[in-house]
Amino acid sequence: MFYETCLNNHGLPRDPFKSCVVPRPIGWISTIDSNGKANLAPFSYFNAVSGLPPHVMFSPGGLGPEGKAKHSLLNAEATGEFVVNVVSRQLAEQMVQTSAAVAFDVDEFELAGLSKEPSKLVKPSRVAGAPIHLECKYWKTIQMPQDDGVPCHMVIGQVVGVHIADEIIDDDGLVDVLRFEPVARLGYRQYASINNVFEIQLPKA
């Protein structure tokens, strides 16, 4: 089959695009507003975008419940900081709970029954129990092209600090993803956790 995205003429019961770009890592973004109120939300349009120095991006699309930009975007821009919390299989259900569209004054940590841990270099809290945290300084927001007037932005931040749980580092000093099974987003309401890995040697130069 073939379809044009501008026409969305795929003839399927649901848009298949998100099932074509898979798996997508989930950026579980914690922020605070200018008054120190915590916010926590997952984004499957998320990834690392550079390594030296390390930068990550997350992409909030649409509007929040108040008809304004998403809280994570507003907070990152207002305070200049955010934290990426890596989602383990153990935390998948709580992560989904924090995707609810709730009012600005609702603390999603409390909503999902999650505990906070202080960060070292930034003010937003970390999700206690998450295997990896990336403390980030906001760099810039890029406004993406709009479709039918629905706003979408790309928020980019520099990773200034990394927390890795000791128990997920193996005897060779490598991060072992099988010890925490990171969760990825698929299409529709589907998720996957990494519980199988394989190696392929790079070709010799």
Summarize pLDDT for 73-91 with one digit per residue, the tens.
999 999 999 999 999 999 9
Domain count, the chain: 1
Tell me if 10 is assigned to some domain.
no
- 3-class secondary-structure state, position 196: coil
pLDDT tens profile 98-157: 999 898 889 999 999 999 999 999 999 999 999 999 999 999 999 998 877 788 999 999
Establish if 162 belongs to a structural domain: yes
pLDDT at 97: 97
CATH number at residue 154: 2.30.110.10
User: How many C-beta atoms surround the C-beta of residue 13 within 10 A?
Assistant: 6
Rg (CA), the chain: 18
- Kindly indicate the confidence band of residue 55, based on its pLDDT and cuts at 50, 70 and 90: very high
Query: Is residue 155 within 8 Å of 147, Cβ to Cβ?
Result: no
Are 45 and 124 contacting, i.e. CB atoms less than 8 angstroms apart? no
Domain that holds residue 83: 24-193
Q: Which two tokens stand for residue 53?
A: 């120095």
> What are the beta bridge partners of residue 39?
31
Q: Is residue 134, in this structure, part of any structural domain at all? A: yes
Burial 120-147 (b: 16+ CB within 10 A, else e): eebbbbbbeebbbbbbbbbeebeeeeee
Q: Is residue 53 part of a domain?
A: yes
**Is position 200 within any domain?**
no
Residue 168 falls inside a structural domain:
yes
* Domain contains 148: yes
Residue 201 lies in a domain: no
In 3-state terms the chain splits into helix, strand, coil percentages (rounded to 5) of: 15, 35, 50
